[in-house]
Each structure stands twice: as structure tokens, then as C-alpha cells.
Copies of this chain bind each other. A is one copy, B any other.
Amino acid sequence: MSENPPAPVPERPRRGRGRPPATDRRRQIEDAALEEFAEHGFRNSSLAAVAQRVGLSQQGLLHHFPNKEALLVAVLARRDAVDTADFGGLRDIDRLTGLAERNTERPGVVRLHALLTAEAVTDDHPAGPFFRARYEELRTRVAEAVRESEHEEAPAPQPTPEETAALLVAAMDGLQLQWLHDPEAVDMPALLGLLTRVLYAHRGGAEQG
């Protein structure tokens, strides 16, 4: 079911003598592309704009990536790797709140995520499978984390781990949208923490705020 995104290019080896490939450039370009895509979306970003950010011509950029789609895939793959690392073991469900907190400081990544998630819903978008798989995996992992943290008390009509996971993930994305539109209006980490506690901790009335 869950088709993973392709590996992020397995370090192409030196082939003969000539000039060595500049691996830095690829990363520079990916970083620039992330910023650009985050600001204008994928379809509405131009290769030329990305190229300009790294002091390249559009054609110079196309030397490193065969086409625009390949660039997007590379960006997503790298972003996913970083986020997975950020996510860590996720033994504790409260890590989600920590992630929200960190995201507060990098609107670019948040924007990229929000924009592409929505954009990728349309037909035949190159990032479509990526995000479908990502959501599936996220729900699964969060559900697992919930299950592991579940040893607490659970006396009342309790949502299942799967339901909890779907709702937490949803709240995360939804809060990001509100926050992007008006950073002052919502406190992402606080709200997510609150939701986490309320959702699966019908504890008898302790631990508030």
C-alpha cells in the first residue's frame, strides 16, 4: 500500500578523471527551491526564480536537475528526511507538540508543507503519491505513539489510537493554516499540547495548564 518516495539519489560516484561533480550545488538549489516553492507553490514557481536565488541561469539549473518535477521530488525527499529525524523515535506523544513549537520558527517549511499538501490534491500532481503515503505513515506512527503512552488511566469513552492520531495530525495541519494566515491569532504548540492532553487523557482532573 504505502509506496515510499524514491531514495534521494545514491551519491553518484566519480566516473573518470575530469572535473568532479559539485554536490554542494545540488543542495544549494534544493534549499532555494524550498524557499521558492514555499512562497509561490510548485506550479506557480519558475525555474528561473529558483536559479536566480543561487546565482544561476535557468539553464544552469537544468543541468543539475533534468526537469522541474525532479527538483520537487528532491526537495520533498530531503525535507522528509529532515522531518523524520526531527520526529525522532516519537516515543513520547508530546514530541508532536515540540515539533509544532519548532515549526513556529521556520515558516518556510510550514508554508511549503501547507501549500503543497493542498496543491497536490489536484489530478496528476507529482507530489500526490508522496503526500498520500506521508499521511498514511504519519497516522500510523502517531497511533503507535498514542498506544505506547496509553498506560495512563482511561476510564471514560475514549477515542481509539487511530482516531486520536487522525485528529492530532488534522489539528496540526489546520492550526498551521490558521497560523500562516495570522501568526498572532493562534498559539500552535499550546493548542496542540492542550488537544493532546484532552484527547486521550481523561485524567480525573489533575494536571492543568
Interface residues of A (CB under 8 A from B): 39-41, 43-44, 111, 114-115, 117-123, 128, 131-132, 135-136, 139, 155-157, 159, 163, 166-167, 169-175, 177-178, 180-182, 185-186, 191, 194-195, 197-199, 202, 204-205, 207-209
Contact = CB atoms under 8 A, between A and B. Distances in A.
B131 A181 contact: yes
14 contacts: A40-B122, A114-B118, A115-B122, A117-B181, A118-B118, A157-B207, A159-B198, A167-B175, A167-B194, A170-B172, A170-B173, A170-B175, A171-B174, A198-B199
A41 B122 contact: yes
How many chain copies? 2
Given A131-B181, A157-B207, A166-B186, 16 more contacts: A39-B122, A40-B122, A41-B118, A114-B121, A115-B122, A135-B185, A136-B185, A156-B204, A156-B205, A157-B205, A170-B172, A170-B191, A171-B174, A173-B177, A174-B174, A198-B198
Nearest to A181: B132
A44 B41 CA distance: 10
A100 B120 CA distance: 21
Contacts of A40: 122
A145 to B, nearest CB: 18
